[in-house]
Amino acid sequence: MDKELLENHERYRERKAFYAALGYDIDTERAFILKEAGPLEGAILEAGTGKGHFALELARAGYRFTTFDISETEQEFAKKNLKYFGLDDRVDWRIEDGARLSFSDKSFDVIFSVNTLHHLERPHAVVDELLRVLSDKGKIVLGDFTPQGFSLMEQIHASEGGAHSAGATTLADIETYLKKKGFQAQRTRSTFQEVLVARRDAI
């Protein structure tokens, strides 16, 4: 196997092990999100590839989907890791600005955004774009950290000499916003992860 893929995967494994040592199991948390989102039908979009933890969960579950990120560096890490597992061909990889997507209206039936909301400078603009490309019968699934999850992320980033940035907009704020736009929404949570699943009321 390509040396670069092996080195990339080793960084992924080290990161997972570090998280697990602090009590955060990435696979368990991503599986929780996927379970709460089900069933999944139609065209799937992931908003915010990041390092590809949720993309890997989707691909392992057998789905084909589109994923985008604004960072080529982050997405390249994700792409190499899925290639390590032989799953990169299940994904349409895109570099996109979430507030100005290139996709046509109503292009996707399921849209995921996992642990991205708190990083966004203009979260409502991004949510509006996701709603534009969501089909009439589709659903949007947003995941973000619980207070315990944010506390853990702060601990992790501090241990690496950095800080975990988080904006003021919460998943509860977005739930209120979606309900004002005519969506039904339900929130569930694990210890570290909160999940919001929303559909239009009229459907």
Q: What is the pTM of this model?
A: 0.94
CA–CA gap between residue 26 and residue 79 (Å, rounded): 18
pLDDT of residue 202: 55
Strands 44-47 and 65-69: parallel
Domain range holding 71?
Answer: 3-200
- Mean pLDDT estimate for the chain: 93
Q: Domain count for the chain, please give it.
A: 1
Instruction: Using the predicted structure, report yes or no on whether residue 47 has a pLDDT greater than 60.
Output: yes
Residue 75 is part of a domain; what is its CATH number?
Answer: 3.40.50.150
Instruction: Using the predicted structure, report yes or no on whether residue 40 has a pLDDT greater than 70.
Output: yes
pLDDT of residue 203: 47
The DSSP line for 6-48 is HHHHHHHHHHHHHHHHTT--HHHHHHHHHHHH-S--S-EEEE-
Average pLDDT over residues 23-30: 92
